[in-house]
Amino acid sequence: MYIRFALAITSALSLTACVEDTGSGAGQPAVGSANDLMAFEGARAGQAEMGITNLGYEAIRSDGLTTWWFNRETGACAQIVTANGRYASVTMLPAGDC
């Protein structure tokens, strides 16, 4: 009886550990915000791009490895430089720079 009870408790705890609530909405990345992308600095570019678009940003223009991202809803603008497949620098700029 004790062994069955212990197994049931262990199984229940294992399943609850699989559920993670990050507090963010569906499809929202755990880092960054609609107003600030600085948390993406150092992230892998290919993986972070979807997170940036999920926050409402769109790529406005590119020049070499530099891309300017703009969020029309918040007016936030970010300049992101990619190096070695990662976001080497993320700089928030005035909306007019996008």
Instruction: Enumerate the domain spans of the chain.
Output: 34-98
51: its two tokens = 């997170």
Contact 36, 55 (CB under 8 A): no
- What was the pLDDT predicted at 30? 55
Residue 14 has pLDDT above 50, yes or no: no
CA-to-CA distance for 96 and 33, rounded, in angstroms?
Answer: 19
Considering the entire predicted model, what is its pTM? 0.68
Residue predicted with more confidence, 94 or 30: 94
- What was the pLDDT predicted at 35? 87
Q: What pLDDT, in 10s, does the model give residues 29-84?
A: 556 777 899 999 999 998 899 999 999 999 999 999 999 999 999 999 999 999 99
Closest CA to 74 of 91, 94, 48, 59: 94
Look at the alpha carbons of 40, 65, 70, 92 in this order and tell me if their dihedral is positive or negative.
positive
**pLDDT band, residue 93 (cuts 50/70/90):** very high
